[in-house]
Structure 1
């Protein structure tokens, strides 16, 4: 593996690291202060089925301007990273990718290894909780509209889409598992319109998710159907009490994807949690004034605990 990191270059650098033998690719950006001192680093990744191209740099640029380096990576099987089958989301494998990103970050030049934070949004907001709990050395975590209880999310789908819809997704999952024995893969849409089959079908999901794709982004709107069987079993809330570092939890009060009650419960379990609430939906925080409020709170939190 070649580490192309150069702290004297302040434009985005392409780097890569291995996670269980699979190459994950990332964007690394140093602030100008890295020329003369070790700097804090924020590791970042997207949510369910998302890639680094889906508006994550707008957050990273704010952190870079405040003197923090950023590392934005794609999970295995997604985006620029390697791995087969494509678009296969297995929660535990993504946890492994986060740990691999952490190990890589701790080897980077001019990085303060005691001041590395994890930043995750949506599904990744839960992943960083589990990773921080397991690692024990992370300086801080940021969880924007986090999915902290896969079971609660499945029950929410049953509430707004009906139990029949949830059962259909599960049936597709069983088909995918059966086909995987033959080396084949069965997919469902990552996001679909209300009444259709998809991993996310809330009233605000389809248009907003597609809007996350920037001009040069190739959005692949599908995920392996087996993922629908695995997500309800992934419950970062069980790891919450083990997170000893400062943890920012950003709640979207009208969230239809990540149940608010699970985030509130997790916050009570985390000894150093800080909660901020916004009167918006799950996807609103990526755009306009809602983005500005969210990223400003993140910047203040990270400055407080990293700088």
Structure 2
């Protein structure tokens, strides 16, 4: 499978990307080939569980532009591992602009692909980009307020309060010029990690690539409740495939279904699995097959 290292600029910094040219002309026209712009979820990197998706799309005749958000992986940005919703949305827009300039790509046949946190970003970017052809939102994060309540129920209100204290401490430390105070992205129940539902740490780390780091500045614990992609759903004009893991312990499915109901051209599919079960194994194949059917239809 051919893959090219490349980059684009967002917010004055270089974001690393992989370009997978399509290995089939099945969807090619005189204007070029369609392209899917992909990014990983909460704290994820392009080498963490996404290569299989990208290779499947390439084999079906779709170019892929898979990138790292600023502060992550091979992209620039300090402090490292910073999760910033405004910056990540800006990066998604910049990646779309870069993908539309790729040689051989039809600039008018571009779709977005996101997983978990980045799936929420994809919904927002689609609402702001009426020229897009479609969105794949896999196990999407849709409502920060609902997620905060959900996390408190699965863990405990004490855990949520502890994250808020650590977030405030990180902001104070950064304001004093003493760098970032980091916490784990994922960890066992009872730890000071952002994601602590049973089994999540094992599943996430099993998919982790070489550039993934289990750390993030704690300040995002304060910002996450304000991240509400569901508020943008009614403004999305293109078709959207929403894939729900019915046993999801990371994002609340009730909020996902509410968001999907607001989409004018939404299609929801549900699978009897947990949040990270879609990255490998038999359910991965089912999920990818649904994505390919959707993408080949909306990108024709």
Aligned with residue 269 of structure 2, among 262, 265, 276 = 276
C-alpha RMSD of the superposition? 1.3
1:43 aligns to 2:37 (yes or no)? yes
* Residue among 139, 150, 157 paired with 1:156: 150
1:1-307 to 2 correspondence within 5 Å? 11-32=2-23, 33=25, 38-183=32-177, 184-214=179-209, 217-307=210-300
Distance 2:5 2:122 in 1: 23
CA distance, structure 2, for counterparts of residue 190 and residue 46 of structure 1: 14
Q: Which secondary structure state, in structure 1, belongs to the residue aligned with residue 275 of structure 2?
A: coil
CA distance in 2, matches of 1:62, 1:219: 22
Secondary structure, in 3 states, of the residue corresponding to 2:269?
strand
Q: Distance in 2 between matches of 1:153 and 1:45?
A: 21
Unaligned runs of 5+ in 1: 1-9
How far does residue 35 in structure 1 lie from its aligned partner after superposition? Answer: 10
CA distance in 1, matches of 2:123, 2:31: 29
Asked whether the 8 Å contact 2:45–2:211 carries over to 1, the reply is no
Distance 1:280 1:29 in 2: 29
CA distance in 2, matches of 1:36, 1:115: 12
CA drift at 1:282: 0.6
**Alpha-carbon distance in 2 for matches of 1:280, 1:55:** 16
Q: CA deviation at 1:31?
A: 1.5
Write out per-residue CA displacement over residues 221-271 of structure 1, whole angstroms, 9 at most, x where no aligned residue: 001100111111100000000011000000001111111011111111100
- Give the superposition deviation at 1:64: 0.5
Moved over 4 A (4+): 34-37
Q: 1-side partners of 2:164 and 2:11: how far apart? A: 28
TM-score, length basis structure 1: 0.94
Residue ranges of structure 2 left out of the alignment (5+ in a row): none
Provide the C-alpha distance between the structure 2 equivalents of 1:195 and 1:230, rounded to a whole number of angstroms. 21
1:124: how far off? 0.7
TM-score normalised according to structure 2 size: 0.96
